[in-house]
Amino acid sequence: MRIKELLNQRFSAAMQAAGIPNECSPALALSGKPQFGDYQANGAMGAAKRLKTNPRDLATKILDNLDLDGIADKLEIAGPGFINIYLSSKFLASAVADNAPKSGNHNPQTIVVDYSSPNLAKEMHVGHLRSTIIGDAVARVLEYQGHKVVRQNHMGDWGTQFGMLIAELELQLSEGEQAELALNDLEVFYQQSKKHFDEDPEFADTARAYVVKLQSGDQHCRTLWQKFIQVSVAHNLDIYQQLNVGLSREHIMPESAYNDDLQNVLDDLTAKGLAVESDGAKVVFLEELADKNGDPSVMIVQKSGGGFLYATSDLAAMRYRVNKLGADRILFYIDARQSLHMKQVFTAARKAGYAPETVGLEHHPFGTMMGKDGRPFKTRSGGTVKLADLLVEAVERAERLLRDKNTDLSDDDIKIIARKVGIGAIKYADLSKTRTNDYIFDWDAMMSFEGNTAPYLQYAYTRIRSIFRKANIDPQSFNAEINIIEPQEKALAMKLLQFEEIIDQVASEGYPHILCNYVYELASAFMSFYEHCPILKDGVDEQSQQSRLQLSKQTSETIAKGLDLLGIEVMEKM
Ligand code: ARG
Three-state SS for 253? coil
- Measured in angstroms, how far is the CA atom of residue 37 from the centroid of ligand 1? 48
Asked if the structure places residue 315 within a domain, the reply is no
Q: Could you give the C-alpha distances from 524 to 381, 460, 492, 517, 527, in angstroms and in order? A: 40, 9, 9, 10, 5
Three-state SS for 119? strand
Give dist(CA 130, CA 228) in Å, integer: 25
β pairing state of 329-332 and 110-114: parallel
Nearest CA to ligand 1 atom 6: 117
- Measured in angstroms, how far is the CA atom of residue 3 from the centroid of ligand 1? 40
- Identify the CA nearest to 136 among candidates 506, 464, 494: 506
Three-state SS for 34? helix
Sheet (strand 72-78) strand order: 28-30, 39-41, 82-87, 72-78
The ligand 1 atom nearest the CA atom of 317 = 10
The ligand 1 atom nearest the CA atom of 335 = 12
Nearest CA to ligand 1 atom 5: 117
Q: What is the pLDDT along the chain (574 residues), one digit of tens a residue?
A: 688 889 999 999 999 999 999 999 999 998 888 789 999 999 999 999 999 999 999 999 999 999 999 999 999 999 999 999 999 999 999 999 877 666 676 689 999 999 999 999 988 888 889 999 999 999 999 999 999 999 999 999 999 899 999 999 999 999 888 888 888 888 889 999 999 999 999 999 999 999 999 988 999 999 999 999 999 999 999 999 999 999 999 999 999 999 999 999 999 999 999 999 999 999 999 999 999 999 999 999 999 988 899 999 999 999 999 999 999 999 999 999 999 999 999 999 999 999 999 999 999 999 999 988 888 888 878 788 889 999 999 999 999 999 988 778 999 999 999 999 999 999 999 999 999 999 899 999 999 999 999 999 999 999 999 999 999 999 999 999 999 999 999 999 999 999 999 999 999 999 999 999 999 999 999 999 999 999 999 999 999 999 999 999 999 999 999 999 999 999 999 8
- Residue 284: what are its φ and ψ, rounded to 5°? -115, 125
- Measured in angstroms, how far is the CA atom of residue 153 from the centroid of ligand 1? 9
* pLDDT (0 to 100) of residue 305: 84
- Residues linked to residue 76 through DSSP beta bridges, in sequence order: 84
Pocket of ligand 1 (CB under 6 A): 114, 117-119, 154, 156, 314, 317, 332, 334
Q: How many CA atoms lie within 13 A of 290 on its CB side?
A: 7
Give residue 478's Cα distance to chain centre: 33
Asked if the structure places residue 32 within a domain, the reply is yes
- Measured in angstroms, how far is the CA atom of residue 52 from the centroid of ligand 1? 53
Asked if the structure places residue 8 within a domain, the reply is yes
Q: Look at the pTM and tell me if it is higher than 0.85.
A: yes
Asked if the structure places residue 502 within a domain, the reply is no
Asked if the structure places residue 224 within a domain, the reply is yes
* pLDDT (0 to 100) of residue 1: 65
Number of domains the chain contains:
2
β pairing state of 281-286 and 297-302: antiparallel
Provide the terminal-to-terminal Cα distance of the chain, rounded to the nearest Å: 32
Asked if the structure places residue 223 within a domain, the reply is yes
- Measured in angstroms, how far is the CA atom of residue 521 from the centroid of ligand 1? 35
Asked if the structure places residue 211 within a domain, the reply is yes
Please say which residue of 38, 64, 87 terminates a domain: 87
Between helix 3-17 and helix 43-51 the angle, nearest 10°, is 20
CB 414 within 8 A of CB 398: no
Please say which residue of 61, 87, 113 terminates a domain: 87
- Measured in angstroms, how far is the CA atom of residue 208 from the centroid of ligand 1? 23
- Measured in angstroms, how far is the CA atom of residue 334 from the centroid of ligand 1? 7
* pLDDT (0 to 100) of residue 405: 85
The ligand 1 atom nearest the CA atom of 341 = 11
Give dist(CA 130, CA 473) in Å, integer: 40
Neighbouring C-beta atoms of residue 109, cutoff 10 Å = 17
Give dist(CA 56, CA 62) in Å, integer: 10
Please say which residue of 37, 63, 87 terminates a domain: 87
Query: Ligand 1: which of 114, 117, 122 to mutate, most ligand atoms within 8 Å of CB?
Result: 117
Please tell me the total number of residues recorded for the chain in this structure.
574
CATH assignment of the domain containing 59: 3.30.1360.70
β pairing state of 72-78 and 39-41: unpaired
In terms of residue numbers, what domain contains 25? 3-87
Checking 368-374 for CB contacts under 8 A at 24+ apart, the result is: 368/335, 368/336, 368/438, 369/126, 369/127, 369/129, 369/130, 369/430, 369/438, 369/439, 369/441, 370/438, 370/439, 370/440, 370/441, 371/440, 371/441, 372/440, 372/441, 372/442, 374/440
Asked if the structure places residue 81 within a domain, the reply is yes
* pLDDT (0 to 100) of residue 540: 95
* pLDDT (0 to 100) of residue 149: 98
* pLDDT (0 to 100) of residue 566: 98
Query: Ligand 1: which of 258, 330, 334, 337 to mutate, most ligand atoms within 8 Å of CB?
Result: 334
